Amino acid sequence: MSKVHNFSAGPGILPQEVLDKSAEAILNFNGINLSILEISHRSKDYIPVMDEAQKLVKELLGLDDDFYVLFLGGGASMQFAMVPSNLLRTNGTAAYVNTGVWASKAIKEAKMIGNTNVVASSEDKNFNYIPKGYTIPADADYLHITSNNTIYGTQIKQFPKSPVPLVCDMSSDIFSRKINGNDFTLIYAGAQKNMGPAGATMVAVRQSALGKTDRKILSMLDYKVHIKGESMFNTPPVFPIYVSMLTMKWLKDNGGVEWIEKINRQKADLLYNEIDNNPLFIGTVEKEDRSDMNVCFLLKNTELEPEFDKLAKAGNLSGIRGHRDVGGYRASLYNALPLESVQVLVDVMKEFGRIKG
């Protein structure tokens, strides 16, 4: 069978060895002749999985002991409501930076819970850049940012030095580059782009930041309730957490975030270089804000798209069509995507340039 090069924006590509181990666990987990899909989340065989997953998050992000790691359901979209529910005081104000669709949705949810101030936005240019030089209100309860914007292909290269608690949605670039995790108060990420399959969301939150709001919080939205329940207040997404644990272990065993950051840089440089030098293509993002995870580009002549699509299909390239809000093409270069796949895409673009140039 010919190799398919998976550039899907999410659910995204996973390492082959993780898929192999996950498939084995579905049939027979830990040699107990039961599927991981069947066992109790409180069983002696599964509790070490949760413990290891939490430990790996803290290790890979370099988090101190004040952080507690949760694995929850509801996707990052649930966090759009949980963050203000837990951190926004009834008479306080939350500060948000709007850099795309998901940031906009987070803002919408926050506004339904309390006072919300959009301190910066790139909506004026269809989110093709990252706002800079904005003022962070010193009296805000927190500042919310989105590190990488999957749809528009922008990425924050330097995080703001915030005088207030910093909250970040890292759904599409978690573990892809070295960061100082302790600069944040709360980090959350849906697993399905760079960590595991859909169904689990990782939340790393400073325990010292909780319990300061005077609002009543629904139990399922209360971080303190989930921490007290050791991330098992309700039945957690057992299988997605297991796959996420395997993926993080794969990353650690191969050299960690420092190792994958170098490879991710190579992948992004290879593709952006072709976009900039092939006269048929053009990037959609300001160069200084280009994402290393989601590379968005267009054919200058859109009438050529069907022919390029045909050539891409022949090259076994999957998932490169852009989001409907942007159009064109998007290649997602998540951690598990090998450099070889990016080279195949570049070769197809070069061949198309030769044919049509």
- pLDDT (tens digit per residue) in 138-150: 999 999 999 999 9
In a shared domain, residues 234 and 217: yes
Average pLDDT for 209-221: 95
In a shared domain, residues 90 and 160: yes
Is 341 exposed, middle or buried (CB count within 10 Å of its CB: 0-12, 13-18, 19+)? buried
In a shared domain, residues 228 and 280: no
Calpha distance 267→103 (Å, rounded)? 26
Task: Read off the pLDDT of residues 258-317 as tens digits, 9 standing for 90 and up.
Answer: 999 999 999 999 999 999 999 999 999 999 999 999 999 999 999 999 999 999 999 999
Q: Indicate the range of 50-54, 130-134, 321-325, 338-342 predicted with least confidence.
A: 321-325
In a shared domain, residues 224 and 115: yes
In a shared domain, residues 125 and 178: yes
In a shared domain, residues 184 and 306: no
Instruction: Choose the final residue of a domain: 253, 285, 319.
Output: 253
Residue 11 lies in a domain: no
Q: Are 89 and 213 in contact (CB under 8 A)?
A: yes
Instruction: Choose the final residue of a domain: 253, 269, 291.
Output: 253
Instruction: Choose the final residue of a domain: 237, 253, 269.
Output: 253
Question: Is this model's pTM higher than 0.95 or not?
Answer: yes
In this structure, how many other beta carbons lie within 10 angstroms of the beta carbon of residue 187? 25
Q: What is the pLDDT of residue 325?
A: 81
Residue 171 is given by DSSP the state T
> If we measure between CA atoms, which residue out of 157, 160, 120, 117 comes closest to residue 141?
117
- Residue 117's pLDDT band (cuts 50, 70, 90): very high
Q: What is the pLDDT of residue 326?
A: 86
Q: Map residue 61 onto helix, strand or coil.
A: helix
Q: Provide the annotated active-site residues.
A: 102, 169, 193
Vertex 220 angle, CA 70 and 74, to 5°: 65
- CATH number of the domain residue 151 falls in: 3.40.640.10
What are the φ/ψ torsions at residue 255 (nearest 5 degrees)? Answer: 130, 0
Residue 4 lies in a domain: no
Task: Read off the pLDDT of residues 59-90 as tens digits, 9 standing for 90 and up.
Answer: 999 999 999 999 999 999 999 999 999 999 99
Residue 261 lies in a domain: yes
> If we measure between CA atoms, which residue out of 149, 139, 148 comes closest to residue 117?
139
What Cα–Cα distance (Å) separates residue 349 from each residue in 15, 94, 134, 143, 206?
25, 44, 38, 40, 46
In a shared domain, residues 312 and 168: no
Q: Map residue 228 onto helix, strand or coil.
A: helix
Average pLDDT for 238-245: 98
Number of domains present in the structure of the chain: 2
Residue 230's beta-bridge partner residues? none
pLDDT higher than 70, residue 1: no
Task: Read off the pLDDT of residues 247-257 as tens digits, 9 standing for 90 and up.
Answer: 999 999 999 99
In a shared domain, residues 318 and 183: no
Q: Map residue 204 onto helix, strand or coil.
A: strand
Residue 35 lies in a domain: yes
Report the run of H or E that residue 149 belongs to, with start and end: strand 148-149
- CATH number of the domain residue 316 falls in: 3.90.1150.10
Q: Map residue 68 onto helix, strand or coil.
A: strand
Residue 331's beta-bridge partner residues? 295
Average pLDDT for 96-113: 98
Amino acid letter for position 286: E
Side-chain-side CA neighbours of residue 142 (13 Å): 27
Cis status of the peptide bond prior to 131, with omega within 30 of 0 = no
pLDDT higher than 90, residue 357: no
In a shared domain, residues 229 and 338: no
Calpha distance 82→222 (Å, rounded)? 7
Q: Map residue 232 onto helix, strand or coil.
A: coil
In a shared domain, residues 221 and 161: yes
What Cα–Cα distance (Å) separates residue 314 from each residue in 116, 232, 308?
49, 46, 10
Domain of 184, in residue numbers: 16-253
In this structure, how many other beta carbons lie within 10 angstroms of the beta carbon of residue 237? 21
Residue 140 lies in a domain: yes
What are the φ/ψ torsions at residue 30 (nearest 5 degrees)? Answer: 60, 20
Calculate the CA dihedral of residues 259, 261, 264, 265 and round it to 10 degrees.
-120
Residue 3 lies in a domain: no
Task: Read off the pLDDT of residues 150-190 as tens digits, 9 standing for 90 and up.
Answer: 999 999 999 999 999 999 999 999 999 999 999 999 999 99
Q: Map residue 55 onto helix, strand or coil.
A: helix
How confident is the prediction for the chain on average, in pLDDT? 97
Residues recorded for the chain: 357
Q: Are 111 and 84 in contact (CB under 8 A)?
A: no
In a shared domain, residues 210 and 261: no
Residue 321 lies in a domain: yes
Q: What is the pLDDT of residue 2?
A: 65
Task: Read off the pLDDT of residues 158-167 as tens digits, 9 standing for 90 and up.
Answer: 999 999 999 9
Residue 5 lies in a domain: no
In a shared domain, residues 65 and 214: yes
Q: How many percent of the chain have pLDDT more than 70?
A: 99
